[in-house]
Structure 1
Amino acid sequence: MADVRTYTLIYVVLLVLGTGKFVFFEFTPYDIALAATFVLAIAKTLLIAGYYQHLIEEPRSITYMMVISVFMVLLLTVAAGYSIQ
């Protein structure tokens, strides 16, 4: 299990990544800011799932199952959006 120093470091990184979204939208064109925001969101999601939900300490099979379930949720969201149109 990670110690307090690791959790504090992850918290600071998440804070910096969250601030990065604001910086991108203030100082870069919209298209670049949007793409960068998606990259930051993926990085934040991986850090939260890995450390705060302890997936880093789990066997790889559970991690793969989580990735597949997130992919399936995305597919269902796309399908629902397509059916609304």
Structure 2
Amino acid sequence: MTRLKLYTAIYVVLFVSATVQVLVEGADLSYGRALGIIMVLSFVKAVIVAGYYQHLRWEPRSLTYLVGMGLLAALALTVAATYSVT
């Protein structure tokens, strides 16, 4: 029963976060500020999904670090590809 409550709470947090992202996109904010808010919310949502829905929270730390290194490598390759396009 506690898992159901936990997953329901996480679902509500993700739903509210997605709603806030849509509202930020439609708000009259500068591009940089809106992008920053949306990126922070997206990062928080990704951590929540990886931690709870993909069960990394209950896995050994070594596996969590391995997944984190893969994520950082993918991010580094994305940034490098962005700057290499001419």
Change (3 A) 1:61 1:28: farther
Partner of 1:70: helix, strand, or coil?
helix
TM-score, normalised to structure 1, is 0.88
Q: How far 1:80 sits from its partner (Å)? A: 2.4
Secondary structure in structure 2 of the residue aligned to 1:29: coil
Q: Would you say how many aligned residue pairs link Structure 1 and Structure 2?
A: 84
1:24 corresponds to which residue?
24
> Which amino acid letter does the alignment assign opposite residue 26 of structure 2?
E
Give the letter aligned to residue 18 of structure 2: G
Identity of paired residues, percent?
42
Supply the distance in 1 between the matched residues of 2:45 and 2:22 (Cα, whole angstroms).
Answer: 15
- 2:49 alignment counterpart: 48
Which runs of 4 or more aligned residues in structure 1 lie more than 4 Å from their structure 2 counterparts after TM superposition?
none
Structure 1 residue ranges without an equivalent (≥5): none
Query: Aligned AA for 2:45?
Result: K
Residue 73 (structure 1) aligned with residue 74 (structure 2): yes
Amino acid at match of 2:10: I
- Cα distance in 2 for partners of 1:3, 1:12 equals 14
Alpha-carbon offset, residue 56 of structure 1: 0.2
